[in-house]
Amino acid sequence: MSIGQQILFSVGLCLLSPLLLAVVPTHVEIQANTCNVCHGEAGESAGTVPSLKGKPVAYLEQILLNYKTDKQLGTIMNRVAKGFTDEEIKAIANYYAGLK
């Protein structure tokens, strides 16, 4: 590849990188997809399962930690919450709290 082609490739990559980043989901968005199955797309439930979207971060974090430690029992939430570290739970809580 010539120097001109390398420069052109580099410039093109720089111009496209913001678009690529906008399409690639973040780690927390991938984890939150687990919740979307029951709690609805973007945490907005259409059924009897509670919505997560826009709830206070402290509430979401605490309830997930309660499920993780079996302080609160649920049908499946205890098993789901145990699959996340405390840091991941905090990130998921912040993600859903930030959705408006």
Q: What is the pLDDT of residues 60-96, one digit of tens each?
A: 999 999 999 999 999 999 999 999 999 999 999 999 9
Structural domain contains residue 40: yes
Range of the domain at 59: 26-98
Please indicate, yes or no, if residue 70 is contained in any of the structural domains. yes
Q: Is residue 14 part of a domain?
A: no
**Residue 1 domain-assigned (yes or no):** no
Per-position DSSP letters for 18-75, written without gaps between them: HHHHHHSPPHHHHHHHHHHHHH-GGG--SSSSPP-TT--HHHHHHHHHHHHTTSS--S
Given a cut of 90, is residue 4 above it in pLDDT? no
Q: Is residue 4 part of a domain?
A: no
Number of structural domains the chain divides into: 1
* CA angle in degrees (0–180, nearest 5) for 71-34-27: 105
Give a yes or no: residue 53 inside a domain.
yes
Is residue 17 included in any domain, yes or no?
no
Confidence label for 26 from pLDDT (cuts 50, 70 and 90): confident
CATH number at residue 62: 1.10.760.10
